[in-house]
Structure 1
Amino acid sequence: MKQYFKIDEWRIIEEGFNPEENKVAESVCSIGNGHMGQRANFEESYSGDTLQGSYMAGVYYPDKTRVGWWKNGYPEYFAKVLNSINWIGIDIKVDGETLDLAKCKILDFTRILNMKEGYLHRTFTAELPSGKTVKVDAKRFVSIARKEIGAIRYSITPVNFSGKLEITAYLDGDVKNEDSNYDEKFWDEVSKNVSSGEASLVVSTKKLDFHVCSTMKFDIVQVGRKINVTADTIEKEKYVSNTVVLLCSKGEETVIYKYTSNVTSRDHEKSELINVSKAALLKAYELGFEALLEEQANAWADKWKESDIVIEGDSSAQQGIRFNIFQLNQTYTGKDERLNIGPKGFTGEKYGGSTYWDTEAYCIPFYLATADEDVARNLLIYRYKHLEKAKENAKKLGFSKGALYPMVTMNGEECHNEWEITFEEIHRNGAIAYAIYNYVNYTGDKAYLGEYGFEVLSEISRFWEERVHFAVPKGKYVMHGVTGPNEYDNNVNNNWYTNRIAAWTLDYTIEVMNYLKEKEPARFEELNAKLQIKDEEIAKWKDIVANMYYPEDKELGIYLQQDNYLDKEQILVKDLDPKNLPLNQNWSWDRILRSCFIKQADVLQGLYFLEHLYDDETIRRNFEFYEPRTVHESSLSPCVHSILAAKLGMQEKAYEMYLRTSRLDLDNYNNDTEDGCHTTSMAGTWMSVVHGFGGMRVRNGQLQLNPFIPGHWNSFSYKVMFRGALLKINVTSENLIVSNESENAITLSVHGSTYTVSGNETLNIAC
């Protein structure tokens, strides 16, 4: 596997500039703060291959669906997170010559993402076509402490000349998405204002009328002194700028400090956007770059105290896990229940920046253990608030009742337009039901069931009730025409995982109903008055649970991915010519669909979710059959395999899959990082360490740990929050050290033995 970046435990380091790999580095070195994000584009002009990306959380556009053949039930649009106002721009001209790295001889270049303190740092020396050489040092960040603020320190030093330097700081709203249909632009100008040293720009989306306001101020410093100059101002459509021309001397540094505030109409009245933005900007400007950067470092230090994983003895693995945790922490903060987590976070446009089942299946566990429980609760409430839309989605597909949550959404409405996913990949409903169980099981917050959970579970169960049908020849309930998690096999009958998660959901809904009847009878009556669940409906659910059909091969002792899976030609991935991989970039779709190869965990996804219902030998037989047929071309695949391999004692396989998930983007495993990082799968990387190597589970309200340490690691440690306790867990080859960093005592199980750890106590257990 190609190494794109140097191995460093706290930094992502790109040394030397390779234009063919620029978009990969732009993705990997993206920065964000939950409110906005920015790809690692250059501040100065660049005419080479780049994906410009500045994103504002929750601001999207319903781009008209573009399909070759329209089908009943298709959504009208595909929701897209928008490339927003380019706020980082600082154009440079040297004696009238534009600084553009695509047209320069680059003598040295580094791009460094400092994960410990949360900033991007780039340095280079470039020789322009005229022979003039400059050194540039650019540092920028988006503030974790002040969500609206982005700040840049950009310095330029003449190496072999003295001359005229022209600096243009600008805001540009005349941008488009790379993936827009018909090259459509999505923004209209609302207003702009520019004067010497500052500017503001307000734009609105052509649909839905989101408004974004960016304001900027800047200073120029030479030889340590601020220069008072009058800037020439420029106004164009959706563009404002300040240009300053000054003399520069050989060897003397000129520094531009640019401060920007970005606010949206999601958070403020449209009439107040400029005032709010200017007020936030002024506070940041008065504080200054270095103080803001110190504030940023302190804020990140707090985040790392809660969520860091430390690996000793394997720098590659250490860098990988910290990169994944860093991206998760800068993508979602849990402070806004209207927001969710897109598969690419703030790092690119692919998948539209929308919400998928990834959140419930992969992200919930990370936020449960590394943040206050309200953060994960808000992710579930997000779905509760979309319940009516989910019921509408089911009706659009011809169902008389129940809720079908969308495969892709921004506001609860389905906006995905591939029929085999939109109509058939209905297992997403099961992931949402499982997330409710997972949340309650971990936190003990059973009040959530009466407040929100039961209503969602009931409507999902009603969908499953209508989606299955009774097959007389089998004497069982079956489900035809579905697509499981393995999207390399679609429109199948009786996908085992879909059937299993449907029956499990029905069973869990009945369990929750019985709990509410007993423990919260008044609330249950209130809910039932609204839901009108009849006895015959409950009887039907029980019948489906008892008589669901599950394809299996008794001779092999495995569950079949779907009916007739074994009729496919059975070839193992190891027997493929490597030039065929990844399949999705080398094979036709027809060839993929006819093959036995699996994109991601499918049967194993179900066994991962429901492992407490299956013995180890059942899981092992299925793992040993399906993993060799899995190409792991979904970012969501390696982590599930790593966790199951760890549970089964398959330590080498667990480590192999961990390294693949943790370095998926750093090493560009699937040759697709240029359009954004795989943010939601990064939570799976965390799970690979904590649930996999750490063996952490919650059973009957108790934390269980069954850890092992990869052979070449010296130790690893992680922190988890669990029911009022904050635990630091350190694993070595000889012992397990549990430090309770809270006042609350906790009882837990380690390798089957029970221990109580008092508040602020450390427990050392021999392994």
Structure 2
Amino acid sequence: MNQDYIQSHPWSIIEEGFDKERIKSSESLFSMGNGVMGQRANFEESYSGPTFQGSYIGGVYYPDKTRVGWWKNGYPEYFAKVINAPNWIGIDVSIDGEPLDLATCTNIKNFKRELNMKEGWYRRNFVATTPNNVEIEVVATRFLSLSHDEVGAIQFEITPMNTDAEIVFKPYIDAGITNEDSNWDDKFWNTTNIESNKNRAFIESHTMKTHFNVCTFMQAHLVYGDTIKETPDSLNKEELAIGFEFSQKIKKGEKVSLIKYGGYAVDRNHDANKLMEAANSVLDEVSSLGFDKLLEEQKKAWAAIWEMSDITIKGDVKAQQGIRFNIFQLNQTYTGTDSRLNIGPKGFTGEKYGGSTYWDTEAYCLPFYMATKNQEVARKLLKYRYNHLDKAIENAEKLGFTKGAALYPMVTMNGEECHNEWEITFEEIHRNGAIAYAIYNYTRYTQDYSYVPEMGLEVLIGIARFWQQRVNWSTHRNKYVMLGVTGPNEYENNVHNNWYTNYIAKWCLEYTLEQLNYVQQEYPNDYKRVLEKTQLSNDETGLWIKVAAHMYLPYSEEHGVYLQQDGFLDKDLVRVAKLNKKERPINQHWSWDRILRSPYIKQADTLQGFYFFEDHFTEQELEKHFDFYEPFTVHESSLSPCVHAIQAAKLGRMEQAYTFYLRTSRLDLDDYNKEVEEGLHITSMAGTWMSIVEGFGGMRVRDGKLCFSPKIPEQWDRYSFKINFRDRILKVTVAQSGTIITMNEGESLEILVNGEPIILDQQ
């Protein structure tokens, strides 16, 4: 049974009632981020119950030495940990000498959390009785500033309800933190300096091995009535932490507030020797504004984001809440301001998976950022991969590939592979194809071809070289084959001729050859430069042509479908519907051996190919493959429901498409996979957006033209979304009665709606 404590609301995530069993889950669901830093929804005050502390800084990581039972040549030396950064949110509180701790308080009532997605803030309030019988009301509000992205702000308000009380606030910053998932219990941080100045405090530290220098900072002051108390009563300085003490006697029914600003200055953006100066500078800026004005800035910044990226749904509050939660988290994770950053699978909400970049970015996230931002944001994601090309070539060299063959990593922080499960590291090589597909997808959508001659052609050549070297010639089949791979369905390892992998390899070779010809004709200077740099020869491209033309693609004449891989039909083909529901999800109940021998598909595999290359197949072929593979799909990857929602909608199966949409949009809110306490599934959230825009809206780009084939679930009255297409802002509104598409900005454009041409002009 899925969790159901999150209340339905179109613009907010709301929890009411205090339950110790769901603390960790809520810490994930109410997480905040601003593209540069992130924070789980941990309590500011002490909490002695189970909790998962999490503060994160974009691009800052630790290379945790690989730990495996048996070392294999080619293993990455480390697994990149998204590390828990020094804690800036802490505010210990005592009431007449008794620590405030919800694990020890009694009569907790009116407990409520709200994550206001429209305005970008998080608030928690409750009434509780401390062990010394003082009843207090607490309202704690915080946000991570989008306009000042190195800082977060907290307003912590307390009102004694049944008596006068002395309240002591102890705001602090703490570098004595650990990761829950350390391989060797290494010390990730080295603290070098702790200082204070009036009501400001600073901890300078650096990561071990990677030596990212960080200054964690804070500033705090007390507000009681018309009195502002900026000077702390005392200073508490420890080996790894520093804090202040503000004490105030409060009359019954009156409110006292602590305002705290905190965050990080990092040497990725500042001189490593002047981090404290940078911290003071940002504190000067935000403290001169004050909490209320800073919050107003936050509301305006989020209003600008929602103006372009919002999707409205009328008639279905759960569906509305789900899509906005996904869009909100995507915008909290990546803003496009820094091409050195990317979209981690957990974003700023947890430590699991490590790394900042998976193939998810190219396969799922790029369309969202292309359509809801200006194209420069998407271009930065492609530039990120170009900047890592040398590392991709090194990754391939470590596995025995030569002559500039490039294997992009499954998991990375800096371009270097850092995933240490052999069946992924060595075998899930289809990720290379997603990089090439993203280049195609970007140029197709934006018509910005400049990326290819400037950067992309070198990437494509490296990828094509890898595929050509990775195949074997089979005299038995008289074809090129691909042995020992893992497809998108990670419930199959070390299989031969995964159809999706073979197909995308074939496509990559053909696409690279096309781009070589185009760049030669249209950008001869770039063509000459790239050929000289890569030393590409006619003999080599001739071999690419041969491999692409003779790639083996497993097919079943009996079923009339491409086979997921060799031997798929040897499995016991029992459909998912016949599984015991008590054994679901199977990855939490079955042995890995049993899973590997089963026909069950974690996520779209063959159907992933039909999603990417939809135009290569007829709708009848899609239908046949969908009907064959979906019944064996357990959807135990967050990336699975969205692809199936899009394809079900294309096939006109709206009830099924709607079910898949709800699953992808509420995957974390309803905790389908029973793991939300570990963090949110950020990259799959882009798939939720695709489920509506590409699924229900039927948006495609074909022959250079924007096309729509809109459909609407019967549960909805109408829905609408905006897209930025080649510097034109279009608004699409689909109702039960019909579709309206308007041009909000930009020059006139001819589009196709259900195959009929329509000219759009600005209103």
Tell me which of 351, 364, 370 is aligned to 2:366: 364
Task: Identify which range, 245-254 or 709-718, moves more after superposition.
Answer: 245-254
| CA deviation after TM superposition for structure 1 residue 228, in Å | 5.4
1:519-569 deviation per Cα after TM superposition (whole angstroms, max 9, x unaligned): 112221221111122112111111111111111112211111100101000
Higher mean Cα deviation, 229-238 or 526-535? 229-238
Structure-2 separation of matches of 1:523 and 1:285: 50
Which residue of the partner structure matches residue 186 of structure 1?
A: 188
- Residue 375 of structure 1 is matched in structure 2 by 377
Secondary structure in 1 matching 2:223:
strand
Matches within 5 A, 1:212-223: 212-223=214-225
Tell me which of 134, 159, 171 is aligned to 2:161.
159
**Residue in 2 that maps onto 1:480:** 483
Match for residue 272 of structure 1 among 271, 274, 287 = 274
Check if 1:84 corresponds to 2:72.
no
Aligned residue among 219, 226, 229 for 1:227: 229
Equivalent residue for 2:345? 343
The amino acid across from 1:53 in the alignment is: G
In 1, the alpha carbon distance for the partners of 2:141 and 2:411 equals 35
Q: Secondary structure at the match of 1:103?
A: coil
Q: Would you say the 8 A contact 2:374–2:727 is kept in 1?
A: no
> What amino acid is aligned across from residue 76 of structure 2 in structure 1?
P
Contact 1:122–1:138 (CA under 8 A) maintained in structure 2: yes
Counterpart of 2:104 in structure 1 is: 103
Shift of 1:79: 0.3
The one-letter code sitting in structure 2 at the alignment partner of 1:162 is D
Q: State how many pairs are aligned.
A: 760
1:95-143 deviations in whole A, cap 9, x for unaligned? 2111111111222311110000000000011112222211100000000
| AA in 2 matched with 1:273 | L
Task: Choose the corresponding residue for 1:204, options 206, 210, 222.
Answer: 206
- Return the TM-score normalized by structure 1: 0.98
Q: For residues 513-528 of structure 1, what are the structure 2 equivalents within 5 Å?
A: 513-528=516-531
The CA distance in 1 between the partners of 2:489 and 2:259, in whole Å, is 49
Cα offsets for 1:566-593 (capped at 9, x unmatched): 1000111111111101111111111111
**1:253 alignment counterpart:** 255
Matches within 5 A, 1:574-613: 574-613=577-616
Q: Secondary structure at the match of 1:8?
A: coil
Distance in 2 separating the partners of 1:403 and 1:229: 58
Alignment of 1:293-442 (within 5 A): 293-401=295-403, 402-442=405-445
Q: Which residue of 1 aligns with 2:128?
A: 126
Secondary structure of the residue aligned to 1:350 is coil
What whole-Å deviation, never above 9, does each CA across 1:648-703 have from its counterpart, x for those lacking one? Answer: 11111111100000000000000011010000000000000000000000111110
Q: 1:202-244: per-residue Cα shift (whole Å, max 9, x none)?
A: 1111111101112221121112432355421011122110012
Matched residues in 1 for 2:598 and 2:102: separation?
45
Whether the 8 Å contact between 2:355 and 2:418 is mirrored in structure 1 is no
Structure 2 residue 525 is matched with structure 1 residue 496? no
Q: Which residue of 2 aligns with 1:541?
A: 544
1:470 is aligned to 2:454: no
Deviates more, 1:413-422 or 1:181-190: 181-190
Alignment partner of 2:717 out of 705, 714, 719: 714
8 Å Cα contact 1:730-1:738 kept in structure 2: yes
| Cα deviation, residue 353, structure 1 | 4.0
User: 1:622: which partner in 2?
Assistant: 625
One-letter amino acid of the counterpart of residue 116, structure 1: K
- Does the 8 Å contact 2:341/2:356 carry over to 1? no
Distance 1:515 1:706 in 2: 31
Query: Given that residues 196 and 232 in structure 1 are in contact (C-alpha distance below 8 angstroms), is that contact kept between their aligned partners in structure 2?
Result: no
Aligned partner of residue 748 in structure 1, secondary structure: strand
2:512 to 509, 512, 517: 509
Q: Is the 8 A contact 2:355 2:411 kept in 1?
A: no
1:228 and 1:700, CA in 2 relative to 1: closer, same or farther beyond 3 A?
A: closer
1:725 aligns with 2:728: yes
Give 1:728 shift: 0.8
- 1-structure distance, mates of 2:432, 2:183: 29
Deviations 1:394-418 (A, max 9, x none): 1100112300011110001110100
1:221–1:594 distance in 2 versus 1, CA, 3 Å = same
- The answer to whether 1:453 aligns with 2:494 is no
Q: For residue 56 of structure 2, what is the aligned residue in structure 1?
A: 55
Question: 3-state DSSP class of the match of 2:680?
Answer: coil
Match of residue 137 from structure 1? 139
Partner of 2:30: 29
Q: Which residue of 1 aligns with 2:753?
A: 750
Separation in structure 2 between the aligned mates of residue 263 and residue 158 of structure 1, nearest angstrom: 36
Q: Which residue is equivalent to 1:43?
A: 44
Instruction: For residue 19 of structure 1, report the CA deviation from its aligned partner.
Output: 1.2
TM-score of the superposed pair, with normalisation by structure 2: 0.99
1:344 touches 1:353 (CA, 8 Å); kept in 2?
no
Q: Which runs of 5 or more residues in structure 2 are unaligned?
A: none
Aligned partners of 2:553 and 2:562 also within 8 Å: yes
What is the aligned-residue identity percentage?
55
TM-fit CA distance, 1:386: 0.6
Question: Is 1:642 the counterpart of 2:648 in the alignment?
Answer: no
Contact 1:261 1:280 in 2 (8 A): no
Counterpart Cα distance in 1 of 2:232 and 2:297: 31
Contact 1:196/1:233 (<8 A) preserved: no
Question: Residue 181 of structure 1: SS of its match in structure 2?
Answer: coil
How far apart are the structure 2 equivalents of 1:332 and 1:371? Answer: 11
One-letter amino acid of the structure 1 residue matched with residue 47 of structure 2:
Y
1:296 aligned partner, one-letter code? Q
* 1:563 paired to 2:566: yes
> How has the CA–CA distance of structure 1 residues 290 and 419 changed in structure 2, closer, same or farther, with 3 Å as cutoff?
same
**Change in 2 beyond 3 A, CA 1:476/1:133:** same
Q: Deviations over 1:36-58 (max 9, x none)?
A: 00100000001111111111100
Q: CA deviation at 1:248?
A: 1.7
2:742 is aligned to: 739
CA–CA separation in structure 2 for the residues paired with 1:412 and 1:195: 40
Name the counterpart of 1:12.
13
Distance across 2 between alignment mates of 1:348 and 1:313: 33
Matches within 5 A, 1:643-722: 643-722=646-725
Distance (Å, rounded) in 1 between the aligned partners of 2:354 and 2:98 = 37
Partner of 1:764: none
Structure 1: stretches of 5+ with no match in the other structure: 762-767
- Residues 334-374 of structure 1 deviation map (CA, whole Å, 9 limit, x = unaligned): 11111111000001100114211000000000001000101
Q: What are the superposed Cα offsets for residues 371-394 of structure 1, whole Å, 9 maximum, x if unpaired?
A: 010111100110101111111111
**Using the alignment, how far apart are the partners of 1:122 and 1:230 within structure 2?**
25
Once the two structures are overlaid, the 10-residue window that deviates more, 421-430 or 250-259, is 250-259
8 Å Cα contact 1:607/1:619 also seen in 2? yes
Distance in 1 (CA, whole Å) between partners of 2:276 and 2:196 is 12
SS at match of 1:86: coil
Amino acid at match of 2:78: Y
- Decide which moves more: 532-541 or 464-473: 532-541
**Structure 1: how far apart are the matches of 2:721 and 2:226?**
43
2:392–2:408 contact (8 Å) kept in structure 1: yes
